[in-house]
Amino acid sequence: MHRNDFVRQLSSPGGDRRPSRIMHIDIPLLLILIALCSIGLAVLYSASAESIFYVKRQATFMFIGLFAMIVIAQFQPRLWERWSIFIYLCGLLSLVAVLFFGVGAKGAQRWLDLGVTRFQPSELMKIAVPMTLASYLGKRHMPPRFKHVTIGVIATLIPVLLVARQPDLGTSLIIFSSGFFALFLAGLGKRYLLSTALLAMAAVPTLWFYVMYDYQKQRVLTLLSPEQDKLGAGWNIMQSTTAIGSGGLSGKGWTEGTQSQLNFLPESHTDFIIAVLAEEFGLIGVLGMLVLYLLLIGRCMIIALNAQSMFGRIMAGTISLTFFVYIFVNMGMVSGILPVVGAPLPFISYGGTAIVTLFLGFGILMAISTEPKRI
């Protein structure tokens, strides 16, 4: 590490002296995050049948995440740029380790048992892949040349395939889209875009027949006819659309949702929590939530535009776009327009690791947003 990574512009006489700058905190971003977390806890309280236990745990993880975010923000983006390849390689190694020594649940092998704690390498890759690509492409010519595109694609596909085999289709999709966004923002040429689109279309049958597990196919089939699968995912979709629809314009009121409160809605506190929000706060609640999310994404895009380096731009842009993918996939799946893959709703769904990972990403964004201007 470099000395300058820590001792930053504190001593520079012309520097910005506002406390937020000194602490490397982006105030609008922080405010939106706090708002999202608060709403998340309120909805979780209702969705978990008024369980203080879940709310306490979730709040604990949020505080850990906030703290981690602020710590991360103290490091110069340059540091992340330099170290990204190591983080990436460590992530890749541990993904391979998961393949052989991983522990897991319900047929999926996702965790490494480190003795004291368990660690999910695929979570790390959600940040390491865009970071490495941003670092690699940021140093190259814009738009990237064939060789750089190829390396970028390979660096994305290796973790994507490893995670898909665990199997964890949701996370694999997130990693894939982060790699794609990084390439796209780096100025990927039109010819590549066109061929990617064609390849994607050709890939669908291959995935269906050779890569996807039966239960994954079942998820897609369930989307087409939910009544087929009464104890599993189909039941979830039937119940979640009923919950959402019965919320109407203004909802049934906090903790008053009959669908969720009478336990018709499974997984109501994790992946399907948006159905609880939609039932209890109606379309107004859903729109309010979406506006908050868009504000967050908008703020991130502004940070991306103002970033001092190409690395900062690509990284910030990719994080904000990947964040949108989370939201789109989750809200789409719960409302029955996308197949059910395990995808939590950011900051609202119950789940510690996912929350901490999100905050880590925003920590890097804050580091980028408060980087001093290069002269």
Q: Binding of other proteins at residue 372 (CB under 8 A)?
A: no
Q: Binding of other proteins at residue 369 (CB under 8 A)?
A: no
Q: Binding of other proteins at residue 116 (CB under 8 A)?
A: no
Q: Binding of other proteins at residue 78 (CB under 8 A)?
A: no
Residues 347, 323 contacting (CB under 8 angstroms): no
Q: Between the CA of residue 118 and those of 115, 215, 216, 255, what are the distances in Å?
A: 7, 26, 25, 34
Least distance from other proteins to the Cβ atom of residue 245, Å:
3
Residue at token pair 């993880």: 61
Q: What is the footprint of other proteins within residues 227-286 (CB under 8 A)?
A: 230-232, 235, 241-249, 258-259, 261-264, 268-269, 278, 282-283, 286
Q: What is the footprint of other proteins within residues 199-228 (CB under 8 A)?
A: none
Look at phi and psi of residue 40 and say left if phi exceeds 0, alpha if psi is from -120 to 50, else beta: alpha
Cβ nearer to other proteins, comparing 232 with 352: 232
Q: Which long-range contacts (CB under 8 A, 24 or more apart) does 255-261 make?
A: 255/45, 255/46, 255/50, 255/280, 256/280, 257/46, 260/46, 260/47, 261/46, 261/49
Encoded one letter per residue, x for contact with other proteins by CB under 8 A and - for no contact, window 323-352 reads -x---x--xx--xxx---------------
Cβ nearer to other proteins, comparing 196 with 246: 246
- Which residue of 15, 28, 143, 342 would you call a contact of other proteins, by CB under 8 A? 143
Residues 228, 263 contacting (CB under 8 angstroms): no
Distance CA(167)–CA(154), nearest Å, equals 20
Residues 316, 335 contacting (CB under 8 angstroms): no
Q: What is the footprint of other proteins within residues 43-62 (CB under 8 A)?
A: 48-51, 53
Least distance from other proteins to the Cβ atom of residue 108, Å:
11
Instruction: Provide the edge-to-edge strand list for the sheet that holds 103-105.
Output: 103-105, 108-113, 118-119
**Cα 280–Cα 282–Cα 283 angle in degrees, nearest 5:** 155
Cβ nearer to other proteins, comparing 87 with 349: 349
Q: Binding of other proteins at residue 3 (CB under 8 A)?
A: no
Q: Binding of other proteins at residue 119 (CB under 8 A)?
A: no
Distance CA(223)–CA(233), nearest Å, equals 9
**Cα 4–Cα 8–Cα 12 angle in degrees, nearest 5:** 120
Q: Binding of other proteins at residue 107 (CB under 8 A)?
A: yes
Stretch that binds other proteins, among 12-20, 92-100, 141-149, 355-363 (CB under 8 A): 141-149
Collapsed DSSP state (helix, strand, coil) of residue 73: helix
Stretch that binds other proteins, among 77-85, 194-202, 295-303, 359-367 (CB under 8 A): 295-303
Q: Which residues of this chain interact with other proteins, rule CB under 8 A?
A: 48-51, 53, 105-107, 141-143, 181, 184-185, 187, 189-190, 230-232, 235, 241-249, 258-259, 261-264, 268-269, 278, 282-283, 286-287, 290, 294, 297-298, 301, 304-305, 310, 313-314, 317, 321, 324, 328, 331-332, 335-337
